[in-house]
Amino acid sequence: MTDATVTPGSQSALRQANERRVVEVLRRDGTRTQAELARATGLSAASVSNIVRGLRAAGTVSVRDTASNGRRARAVTLLRPPGAVLAVDFTVDGVAVGVGDSDGNLLAREEIGYDVAADPERGVRRAAWLAEITLQRARIDLRTVSSAVASVPGPVDPGTGEVGRISCVPRWTGFRPAEALGERLGVPVVAENDANLAALAERRIGAGEGAGHLIHLVIGEGVGAGIVLSGELFRGAGGTAGEIGHITLDPRGPVCRCGNRGCLETFVGARYLLDMLPQNSEVARGPGGPRVADVVAAARSGDLGSRRVIAEAGTALGQGLAIAANLFNPDRVTVGGDLAEAGELLLDPMARAMELGALGSAREDLILMSGALGRDAALYGALWTAAHVAL
């Protein structure tokens, strides 16, 4: 897919320039009638009428009947600046795209299942295609998109934009998804770790709202954390801050994909978690193999084996989180991912383990709770970042 270019001096470029003139007058002067807009911009009444009609259809302005000098007139009010932003959420087995307005509010969303982990170049091509489809269905021109943010399930070096070695998509190591996606979309793109984006979203509009210091856990194939300190995202020197899944809990435990033994991830990550199920259980024998969501559903229905698996995962998470709490002293910890749907079945053993491992002063004012934004937390965070951070 190539970006549609606009030739300088073309009819399309002229219309865009005239539209900007109308928007700037409304931004500067507030509500104005169409006649006043024509005088302020030097455009003809017919041109202003056409521009206002397009802005109204896009939800950029509102129009109401009024009177001016005893005559009927149409008053125009700017609702939000024109333009759109994109969010692309790469997971191990799928891609989701969100389109937002200039403030980062979600306008449209599409999602497909896809083996993203297999090939980064193909994953980006698929994401670009889905972005185009999403924009078309939302009736938004790609040329109005000002920026995009890609959410990646692994650490991203803030200096180079490269995906780090320790991720759930090992074939993406060294790949620069923002650069590749930007070339296809023709807009500025940055890549960011999914847990970091989810943490930003949960703090803004989710369960972490109002927290000064927040740790948001994302439990999936691996275990990651987004850390917000004094309202600012903490990435670390190379973008690997928050890799809580690689805290060692048992030096003689299973070998982790990072090369160490007994990492938290080997007790909680989806692949390890599902291996804990009794082979004769109904969940393990389900068609297509078990999923974490199946374990959670069975546990909520009273299945004792599934409850035990979740309880042990909660204990391990609490032990790892106790270390993080001692280091960062957050006032809120939120938990996201499929496993978080277990609610108190997961949070209660987490809290008990934290009581044993965390300093009294670290857990005294700490609130532990499930995230509120579910699977779209990273998508919401990406939209907000695209709208509010200079890319």
Give the rounded distance of the alpha carbon of 304 from its chain centre. Answer: 34
Q: What is the DSSP letter of 244?
A: G
* Tokens encoding 89: 């959420």
249 near 240, Cβ under 8 Å? no
* pLDDT at residue 10 in the model: 61
**Distance between CA 45 and CA 369 in Å, rounded?**
56
* Tokens encoding 79: 């609702």
* pLDDT at residue 50 in the model: 92
* pLDDT at residue 286 in the model: 67
CATH number of 11-78: 1.10.10.10
According to DSSP, the residues that pair with 100 across neighbouring strands are 85, 106
* pLDDT at residue 49 in the model: 93
Residues sharing a CB contact under 8 Å with residue 74, sequence separation 6 or more, in sequence order: 33, 34, 52, 63, 64, 65, 66
* pLDDT at residue 267 in the model: 92
pLDDT per residue, tens digit, the chain (391 aa), is 333 333 444 676 687 788 888 988 998 889 999 999 999 999 999 999 999 998 887 778 899 998 888 888 899 998 876 778 999 999 999 999 999 988 899 999 999 999 999 999 999 999 999 999 999 998 888 888 989 999 999 999 999 999 998 888 999 999 999 999 999 999 999 999 999 999 999 999 999 999 999 999 999 988 999 999 999 999 999 899 999 999 999 999 999 988 999 999 999 998 888 888 877 677 777 677 788 999 999 999 999 999 999 999 999 999 999 999 999 999 999 999 999 999 999 999 999 999 999 999 999 889 999 999 999 999 999 999 999 886 6
- In Å, how far are 49, 224, 324, 335 from 210, measured between CA atoms? 44, 22, 20, 16
DSSP alpha helices (H): ranges in the chain?
11-29, 34-41, 45-57, 120-137, 177-185, 194-205, 265-268, 270-275, 292-300, 304-328, 344-357, 360-363, 377-388
**Distance between CA 117 and CA 168 in Å, rounded?**
8
* Tokens encoding 129: 């295609």
Give the phi and the psi of residue 370 in degrees, each rounded to 5: -70, 150
* Domain ranges, ordered by start, for the chain: 11-78, 84-198+378-388, 210-372
Fold: same for 84-198+378-388 and 210-372: yes
Task: Enter the pTM of the model.
Answer: 0.81
The fourth-level CATH superfamily of domain 210-372 is ATPase, nucleotide binding domain (3.30.420.40)
**Distance between CA 190 and CA 161 in Å, rounded?**
7
* pLDDT at residue 177 in the model: 97
59: three-class secondary structure by DSSP: coil
Phi-psi region of 46 (alpha: psi -120 to 50; beta: other; left: phi over 0): alpha
Residues sharing a CB contact under 8 Å with residue 367, sequence separation 6 or more, in sequence order: 211, 331, 332, 333
**Distance between CA 64 and CA 107 in Å, rounded?**
24
Architecture of the domain spanning 84-198+378-388: 2-Layer Sandwich (3.30)
Query: b/e for 281-310, b at 16 or more Cβ within 10 A?
Result: bebbeeeeebebebbbebbeeebebbbebb
**Distance between CA 87 and CA 197 in Å, rounded?**
11
335 near 208, Cβ under 8 Å? no
